[in-house]
Structure 1
Amino acid sequence: MLKSRLFIVLLLLPVWSAAQHTAAPSAKTKSLQNLRQQLDQYTQLAQGRVGMAATVLETGESVSIRGDERFPMQSVYKFPIGMAVLHQVDQGKVTLDQLCHVDKSEYVGRQQHSPLRDSLPNGSDIRIGDLLRYAVSQSDGSASDVLMHLAGGPMAVMAYLKSLAIRNIRVMNTEKELGQDNAVQYANWATPTDMVSLLKALQQGRGLSPASRAFLLRLMTETPTGPNRLKGLLPPATVVAHKTGSSGTLANLTAATNDVGLITLPNGHHLAIAVFVSDSKADTPTREAVIANLAKVVWEHWR
């Protein structure tokens, strides 16, 4: 009887040992858990809803928070609009040097950001390449509306995104419409995960020619907007091609403080990251610091 019991114990011992080995988290799992804990600490400071997704494009390593939830884009949507216009350039329908007449009636309201309107109050003939620079680099609302019309309107932009298998980004309204009704911004949304997918498409050259891709990346790298967001806590020499988005504050609630982009890591890999801070009660420095700290945490994790 004793021998039989001993045999059973010895027989079960390898199974028990294997179960114990399987249950122990791997170093990679522990590392990801630690990363999530660090990210969660900063999202709580926003006093609102924070969504983010980040992927190292060369390795596929990724992390997300509310990655499949919808967030208002605000001016981030000028990034997909810019891609759609450059696709028109690639198809030979327009050229960057082509002049486009901009009438002053097309300008957004005075409360909205528009260097184009401020510098040329009576309207003018503008190169399409310059309109892209105004819209993407300077986040100009008037230029964005002209470009959306040039691309064929919201449905044409959406069709372009669909051709890239991007289904969770919605471009539905003009900047002028966004400025007239605070609620409209929520109809122009993106999920962090699909915004990262669009950044991945840009980096990999899908949907744009090499020349158009290089032009858009240059505009996104040269932008002066959002210095305290994705770029805020990274080393000064870090290359960041990004697009910001910001709403106004109504009843102490800020609907959108956003930044999405491609960060070049020290090892040459590319980090696609999208951060959306929505419906926040925190002040501007705090909201921007949340974005900067999230970017810093993932940069340090994968650098």
Structure 2
Amino acid sequence: MEKNRKKQIVVLSIALVCIFILVFSLFHKSATKDSANPPLTNVLTDSISQIVSACPGEIGVAVIVNNRDTVKVNNKSVYPMMSVFKVHQALALCNDFDNKGISLDTLVNINRDKLDPKTWSPMLKDYSGPVISLTVRDLLRYTLTQSDNNASNLMFKDMVNVAQTDSFIATLIPRSSFQIAYTEEEMSADHNKAYSNYTSPLGAAMLMNRLFTEGLIDDEKQSFIKNTLKECKTGVDRIAAPLLDKEGVVIAHKTGSGNVNENGVLAAHNDVAYICLPNNISYTLAVFVKDFKGNESQASQYVAHISAVVYSLLMQTSVKS
């Protein structure tokens, strides 16, 4: 009896040792596999950080992949939005029109002498008469596709002001992630005011991501904003640059560009995009450059490089999976 008990103990001990070895082996293989294939977010963060570290200025980046995985680089800082805030403006205006039952096809008569001839305004070049008659939809299209400053200033002045815009956007993204305090006209008069219209990269990415993945306002108006951003004509040398020749890629984006000061420092050079790939991956990419010691073309190269790396890694991920 005693002999059988000892035998059972020996067999049990051997079995336990075998189980331990098996579990350890599986754990080791899993750890080795994870080490060899780190999470996509880690790879993206490391790759973007390498590009950012070489920049003669500060770059903040946020990526949201498939409405889920999030990457942040230099997100603790805030960056001048410049014309990126025209997306915020469009959403706030459309929401206000929803509440008041006003159509975007409402006609607006604009006295030419009330517009700024010195600011960026394709609208002003397209119409030569003393009175310009356009719908609100047209004004939004000029603002979103060509970043027209006169159209933006007019809508802030006569339709939905800066404070109303700021308040509405605070219902969509964290209050601490952004601020809208001034119009294009006010920033043009005092370039330092651009720093008071700020955002974190993630704040801008969250807003763009929600715009394309959730219902925020009336369906027709939201679809109009989304489709119009797909027609954006500015900044094609930034996020869009490495994607233009890629088959099946759809990009909607909004740029923002700052002034160069007397010391040759570029205040801001931005782009925020929502991108759909043919492999069923969609992602939001926000890149904000501030206080850049170089010209716009050089700043665009950094933005485009980041975009190319993100695209390449996401396509590789799709192939591996």
2:59 alignment partner, SS class: strand
Deviation at 1:96, TM superposition (A): 1.4
Q: Which residue of structure 2 aligns with residue 205 of structure 1?
A: 214
Deviation at 1:152, TM superposition (A): 2.7
Deviation at 1:65, TM superposition (A): 0.7
Q: Which residue of structure 2 aligns with residue 277 of structure 1?
A: 289
Q: Distance in 1 between matches of 2:174 and 2:229?
A: 20
Q: Distance in 1 between matches of 2:267 and 2:101?
A: 36
For residue 289 of structure 1, the aligned residue among 289, 296, 301 is: 301
Bigger CA drift: 163-172 or 72-81?
163-172
Task: Describe how 1:176-195 pairs up with structure 2 within 5 A.
Answer: 176-195=185-204
For residue 255 of structure 1, the aligned residue among 240, 257, 267 is: 267
For residue 266 of structure 1, the aligned residue among 274, 278, 302 is: 278
Whether the aligned pair in 2 keeps the contact of 1:46 and 1:282 (CA below 8 Å) is no
Q: Which residue of structure 1 aligns with residue 85 of structure 2?
A: 77
Q: Distance in 2 between matches of 1:40 and 1:136?
A: 30
TM-score normalised per structure 2: 0.82
Is the alpha carbon distance of 1:269 and 1:100 closer, same or farther for their aligned partners in structure 2, counting shifts above 3 Å? same
Q: Which residue of structure 1 aligns with residue 124 of structure 2?
A: 117
Q: Which deviations, in whole Å up to 9, do the C-alpha atoms of 1:208-258 show, x marking residues without a partner? A: 222112111111111111111011011424211000000121121001100
Task: Describe how 1:23-62 pairs up with structure 2 within 5 A.
Answer: 26-27=35-36, 29=38, 31-58=40-67, 60-62=68-70
Query: Sequence identity of aligned pairs in percent?
Result: 26
Please state if 1:216 is matched with 2:225: yes
Size of the aligned set, in residue pairs, is 291
Q: Which residue of structure 1 aligns with residue 243 of structure 2?
A: 234
Q: What is the aligned-residue RMSD (CA, Å)?
A: 2.6
TM-score normalised per structure 1: 0.86
Q: Which deviations, in whole Å up to 9, do the C-alpha atoms of 1:52-73 show, x marking residues without a partner? A: 1011134x12211112320001
Whether the aligned pair in 1 keeps the contact of 2:41 and 2:69 (CA below 8 Å) is no
Q: Distance in 2 between matches of 1:47 and 1:215?
A: 38
Deviation at 1:271, TM superposition (A): 0.7
Is the alpha carbon distance of 1:100 and 1:264 closer, same or farther for their aligned partners in structure 2, counting shifts above 3 Å? same
Please state if 1:131 is matched with 2:139: yes
Deviation at 1:184, TM superposition (A): 0.5
Q: Distance in 1 between matches of 2:70 and 2:229?
A: 22
Q: Distance in 2 between matches of 1:49 and 1:109?
A: 32
Q: Distance in 1 between matches of 2:254 and 2:197?
A: 15
Whether the aligned pair in 1 keeps the contact of 2:96 and 2:160 (CA below 8 Å) is no
The letter for the 1-side match of 2:99 is: Q
Task: Describe how 1:60-99 pairs up with structure 2 within 5 A.
Answer: 60-99=68-107
Q: Distance in 2 between matches of 1:32 and 1:152?
A: 38
Larger radius of gyration: 2
Please state if 1:160 is matched with 2:168: yes
Deviation at 1:284, TM superposition (A): 2.1
Q: Distance in 2 between matches of 1:153 and 1:235?
A: 35
The letter for the 2-side match of 1:116 is: M
Structure 1 unpaired stretches of 5+: 1-6
Q: Which deviations, in whole Å up to 9, do the C-alpha atoms of 1:21-44 show, x marking residues without a partner? A: 897654553654433332123223
